[in-house]
Structure 1
Amino acid sequence: MDALTPLINGLNLHAKLVYSGGVCGRWLMDHNSETSVWFHLVSKGRGFVHSPRWPAPLALNTGDLILFLPHAARHFLSYSPEHLPDSDQDTRLTPWLDGEAAFVCGEIELAAPKSTLWQALPAEVVIRQNQAGNILPRLIELVIGETSAQRFGSESVIERLCDGLFVLVIRHCIEEGLVRDGVFAAMQDKRLSTALGLIHQQPWHGWTLNELCTRAGISKSVLSEKFSALIGHSPIEYLTLWRLQIAAHWLIEPAMSVERVAERSGYESVPAFSKAFKRHFGVSPGTLRKS
């Protein structure tokens, strides 16, 4: 198995559909978040992104996809490149057919958005309809088709398709060289990808450096050097970080207490777990859970 699939599965990341339909009038969208990835797919017409990231408002046309990670600059989507409304009070939401423009908008919640895992990705990812290779445009077409049809279960289908969109966007970033360090960049190295795949797929295994090197077919010095250069941690340090990433996502599940997460994470006590968690993420497990 590749290194990306068990990473996505391990964190149980899922898209939540926030809006699917048309917009009219002097519309404005304010979808900024410090904890979620926001995505906007133009399913009809066009819109404009107002952000300090670009010197002029960025035009988005039918079939274009844009994602904003939590470290993106504050931004707005609007009907015009010249005018940015002060609020969304003039926004009129309509069925897809009646809209001057139409969007599929959603979010993917990240339990630890400030971790190096996500910070290594671009803050904004723009994928034009004609720049996405072969598979991603087909999936975008399916989302747009399901949006315009409005059949039974459409929202559920769109959410599952958007799960796939997020994975394909990460793959796009890796294959197009948009990430130059961090875990996603390391996946481009075949032997590092093998070691990462083992860690991601079996995080609770008692991995040693020797075993990882043997399974990945790489020397200890080379593996340690490459991990340090690209990820900023030794293989065993990254294993600990990956376990804590999983723990962070357990913490945002309503049925999971801090005590249970600490136990499932292999820590003998809550204080030991809390100390390790705060050292890596800067907040205690309880604080993250409350927020």
Structure 2
Amino acid sequence: MDALTPLINGLNLHAKLIYSGGVCGRWLMDHNSETSVWFHLVSKGQGFVHSPRWPAPLALNTGDLILFLPHAARHFLSYSPEHLPDNDRDTRLTDWLDGEAAFVCGEIELAAPKSSLWQALPAEVVIRRNLAGNMLPRLIELVIEETSTQGFGSDSVIERLCDGLFVLLIRYCIEEGLVREGVFAAMQDKRLATALGLIHQQPWHAWTLNELCARAGMSKSVLSEKFSALIGHSPIGYLTSWRLQIAAHWLLEPDMTVEKVAERCGYNSVPAFSKAFKRQFAQPPGAFRRHKE
């Protein structure tokens, strides 16, 4: 298995559909968040992104996809490149057929949005329909088709398709060289990817540096140097960080207790887990969970 799949699965990241349909009038979308990834797929017509990231409003056309990470600059989507409404009072939501433009909008909540994992990705990612390779346009077409037909269970189908969109977006960033440091960049090194895959697949395992080196076919000095240069951690330091990121996402699940999370992350006691978690997130697990509720 590659290193990316268990990373996505380990964090249990899923898209939540916020809106799928048409818009009319002097419409405005304000979807800024410090904790969520937001994505917008233009399924019909045109829209414009107003952001200090670009010197002029950015035009998005049918089939274009844009992704905003929590560290993106404050931004708005609107009907016009010249006019940005003060609020969404004049926005009229319609079905797909009646809209002057139409969008699929969703979010993916991140338990640790300020972690180096996400900060290493571009704050904004724009993928044009005609420049997205092979797989991504096909998936985009499926989303647009499902949006326009609205059959039984369409929202659920669209959400699952958007899960795939998010993975392909990360793959796109990796393959296009949009990430030059961090875990996603390290995945481009086959031997580093082997070590990362082992850590991502089995974070509860008591990995040693010798064991990781033997499995990845690298010396301890080379593996340690590569991890430090690209990820900013030693291999064992990254293992600890990865365990705690998984723990943060598990703590968001209503049926998971702190005790269960500590055990699943490979900690022998709750106090040891709480100490490590507080060191990583500046608050104990219980307070972190209450803050997210």
TM-score (norm 2): 0.97
| Paired position in structure 2 for 1:214 | 214
Matches of residues 54-65 of structure 1 in structure 2 within 5 Å?
54-65=54-65
Indicate whether 1:240 and 2:221 are aligned: no
Indicate whether 1:32 and 2:32 are aligned: yes
The CA deviation at 1:35 is 0.9
Q: What amino acid sits opposite 2:117 in the alignment? A: L
- Which whole-Å deviations, capped at 9, do the CAs of 1:146-183 have from their partners, x for residues lacking one? 10011111111111100000000000000000000000
The CA deviation at 1:62 is 0.4
- Within 2, Cα distance between the matches of 1:285 and 1:179? 31
- Which whole-Å deviations, capped at 9, do the CAs of 1:233-255 have from their partners, x for residues lacking one? 01011111111111011000011
The CA deviation at 1:281 is 2.4
| Paired position in structure 2 for 1:90 | 90
The CA deviation at 1:123 is 0.6
Indicate whether 1:75 and 2:50 are aligned: no
| Paired position in structure 1 for 2:189 | 189
The CA deviation at 1:231 is 0.3
| Paired position in structure 2 for 1:146 | 146
- Within 2, Cα distance between the matches of 1:250 and 1:200? 15
The CA deviation at 1:280 is 1.7
Indicate whether 1:251 and 2:245 are aligned: no
| Paired position in structure 1 for 2:49 | 49
Query: What count of residue pairs does the alignment treat as equivalent?
Result: 291
- Which whole-Å deviations, capped at 9, do the CAs of 1:160-210 have from their partners, x for residues lacking one? 100000000000000000000000000000100011011111111111111
| Paired position in structure 2 for 1:20 | 20
Contact 1:114–1:281 (8 Å) recurs in 2: no
The CA deviation at 1:275 is 1.8
- Which whole-Å deviations, capped at 9, do the CAs of 1:102-145 have from their partners, x for residues lacking one? 00000011111111111111111100001110110010001001
Structure 1: gaps of 5 or more residues: none
- Within 2, Cα distance between the matches of 1:279 and 1:242? 14
- Within 2, Cα distance between the matches of 1:104 and 1:51? 20
- Which whole-Å deviations, capped at 9, do the CAs of 1:251-288 have from their partners, x for residues lacking one? 00011122322232232333322221121223332232
> What SS does structure 1 have at the residue aligned with 2:74?
coil
The CA deviation at 1:84 is 0.9
Contact 2:67–2:126 (8 Å) recurs in 1: yes
Contact 2:39–2:66 (8 Å) recurs in 1: yes
- Which whole-Å deviations, capped at 9, do the CAs of 1:20-70 have from their partners, x for residues lacking one? 000000101011111110000000000011111111111100000000011
Q: What amino acid sits opposite 2:44 in the alignment? A: K
Contact 2:204–2:264 (8 Å) recurs in 1: no
Query: Once superposed, which parts of structure 1, at least 4 consecutive aligned residues long, lie more than 4 Å away?
Result: none
Indicate whether 1:116 and 2:107 are aligned: no
- Within 1, Cα distance between the matches of 2:193 and 2:268? 31
Q: What amino acid sits opposite 2:101 in the alignment? A: A
> What SS does structure 1 have at the residue aligned with 2:84?
coil
- Within 2, Cα distance between the matches of 1:256 and 1:274? 15
| Paired position in structure 2 for 1:202 | 202
Contact 1:30–1:77 (8 Å) recurs in 2: yes
Indicate whether 1:172 and 2:172 are aligned: yes
Contact 2:205–2:266 (8 Å) recurs in 1: no
Q: What amino acid sits opposite 2:65 in the alignment? A: L
- Within 1, Cα distance between the matches of 2:90 and 2:71? 28
- Within 1, Cα distance between the matches of 2:235 and 2:113? 21
- Calculate the aligned-residue CA RMSD, in Å: 1.0
- Within 2, Cα distance between the matches of 1:271 and 1:82? 56
- Within 2, Cα distance between the matches of 1:105 and 1:81? 20
Identity %: 88
- Within 1, Cα distance between the matches of 2:35 and 2:230? 24
TM-score (norm 1): 0.98
- Within 2, Cα distance between the matches of 1:200 and 1:143? 29
| More moved, 50-59 vs 261-270 | 261-270
> What SS does structure 1 have at the residue aligned with 2:280?
helix
